[in-house]
Structure 1
Amino acid sequence: MIGATGMVGAHILNSLIANPAITRIDTISRRTPQAAAEAPQAKLTTIVTNETSTWASQLSALTPTPSIFISAFATTRGAAGGFENQYKIEHGLNIEMAKAAHEAGSKVFVLISSSGASKTSSIPYSRMKGEIEEDIKALGFEHTVILRPGLIAGTREESRPLEAAARFVAGWAGKLHSTLKDSWAQEANVIGRAAVNAGLKALEGDVPAGSEKVWVLSGSDIIKLGNESS
């Protein structure tokens, strides 16, 4: 897994650790995931390095080969120093790691994308997400699972004032009634559980008809799968 230190990624990792069907977890990241820092887990192996150029080779060297590869890796325009750098980092590393996972023999690729993702979008961010999706699908994993959440509700470590305001609205709407929120915002922990459950289902071939190769989950699908017991 990559992206284990992010908002959704941390919840994915916690779900992986808690799931009895998962026997081994390997993460590659630039800093130690919170789950490992707080209480090292027996089935969790963390590879921590700032040299992202080595991540693909680190993945290729894993034994046994991971059956499922999960990417929740993303960055922001601000952190990257502009959209051009954001594209190079986010698109570049996701595709490089996907290629390494495919060549190593991983069967399922699970990607955390975004609502509105489309390679033909006029919005640069949505177009980048769409191009990441398309380039990963082109690799031909046995199963590609793409989650397209809307606004991600929950607590983020870094400050994003506009997102924080939207998450406040989402929380308020959800308290009134879940239907006022679920169509456009999903909780990070629910997305995390959905990613793990979807990956395991895909590995077993338990996917909806017509989604045998590529399974795309958005709002209501994510909530439904994220609320299923492991």
Structure 2
Amino acid sequence: MSSALVLGSTGLCGSAILKYAQASDSFSKVTTVTRRKVDGVDAGVEQIVEPDSANWSKTLPESQVVFSGIGTTRAAAGSFAEQYKIDHDLNLELAKAAKANGATTYVLVSSTGASASSFLPYLRMKGELDDAVKDLDFEKTIILRPGPLLGDRTKEFKGQGEGTLRAIGTWLHRSAFQRLLSYPIYGDEVGKAAVKLATTLGPGYHIIDAKDLLAASDP
């Protein structure tokens, strides 16, 4: 069995990844690195608490499989420039540190529509990160591109239109019309699919689009 590291485990997708990783028989050990302690996790999960994320790359343990659900919003970060530092720069720094520590599998939660050539800053940022992680050449790289995310957010979450989008997404979820909103998906489904794909896909570079990600969360 291999060891797993979950980054961003206080967020919507990261917390779900942690939930399924700690329940999986595929991992002998699960570790998190967070700004604050995560409540309600198994006693066997090792929690590394470092309030300053700038120091996270120095604290990463050796882990064969690394999941990253790190991400924020422009509103929460204060500006797009500050969001970029987290969504792109921090993610890439940690991916590089994981590779240096011997990680062979890297699973990244990206976004549907991500492309380095997109005219939308958010999708361009996500695409740039996807490409940069690909260039690190892990034995297995899995890029998850979910549609609109559904589920309960933390109190700190700030996102424009969140209530309206969630209401529409919940209504369309797994309906005949789900493609109209790019296959909305619950964070819990992303977590389930992430762990499943990490342990079943073979080596190589895999991009899992919104439709296939939703299917991968099925039993």
Normalized against structure 1, the TM-score is what? 0.86
2:63 aligned counterpart, secondary structure: coil
- Distance in 1 of aligned mates of 2:11 and 2:67: 13
Q: Does 1:146 align with 2:143?
A: yes
Task: Tell me the alpha carbon deviations over residues 7-50 of structure 1, each in whole angstroms, 9 at most, x when there is no partner.
Answer: 111111111112122221111111222xxx23x42330111111
**Larger proportion of helix:** 1
Q: What amino acid does structure 2 have at the position aligned with 1:2?
A: L
Q: For 1:91, which of 72, 88, 105 is the aligned residue?
A: 88
Does 1:130 pair with 2:131? no
**Structure-1 residue corresponding to 2:43:** 42
Deviation at 1:161, TM superposition (A): 5.3
Q: CA deviation at 1:97?
A: 0.5
CA distance in 2, matches of 1:108, 1:78: 32
**CA–CA separation in structure 2 for the residues paired with 1:77 and 1:171:** 23
Deviation for aligned residue 1:66: 0.9
Equivalent position SS for 1:100: helix
Indicate the SS of the match to 1:106.
Answer: coil
Tell me the C-alpha RMSD between the 2 structures. 1.5
Corresponding residue to 1:17 among 13, 22, 26: 22
Give the secondary-structure state (helix, strand or coil) at the position aligned to 2:27.
coil
Distance in 2, matches of 1:178 and 1:22, equals 34
- Aligned partner of 1:190: which letter? E
User: Aligned equivalents of 2:158 and 2:82: distance in 1?
Assistant: 20
Pairing 1:67-106 to 2, within 5 Å after superposition: 67-106=64-103
For structure 2, the 5+ residue unaligned runs are 1-5
SS in 2 for 1:194: helix
Letter in 2 for 1:200: T
The answer to whether residue 211 in structure 2 is matched with residue 215 in structure 1 is no
**When the two structures are aligned, how many residues end up with a matched partner?**
210
Aligned partners of 2:20 and 2:192 also within 8 Å: yes
Question: TM-score, length-normalised on structure 2?
Answer: 0.90
Instruction: Return structure 1 stretches of 4+ with deviation > 3 angstroms.
Output: none
Q: Deviations over 1:98-147 (max 9, x none)?
A: 00111111000000000110001110000000011011100110010000
Verify the 8 A CA contact 1:154 1:187 in the aligned structure 2: yes
Q: Deviations over 1:163-190 (max 9, x none)?
A: 221111122233xx62322642111111
- Is 1:166 equivalent to 2:165 in the alignment? yes
**2:31 corresponds to:** 26
212-221 or 126-135: bigger deviation: 212-221
- Separation in 2, partners of 1:92, 1:161: 23
The 1-side partners of 2:151 and 2:53 are apart by: 27
- Partner SS state of residue 48, structure 2: strand
Unaligned runs of 5+ residues in structure 1 are 206-211
Tell me, what secondary structure is at the counterpart of 2:108? strand
Structure 2: distance between partners of 1:160 and 1:100: 30
Q: 1:216 to 1:51 in 2, by over 3 A?
A: same
C-alpha contact 1:23 1:43 (8 A) present in aligned 2: no
Q: Secondary structure at the match of 2:161?
A: helix
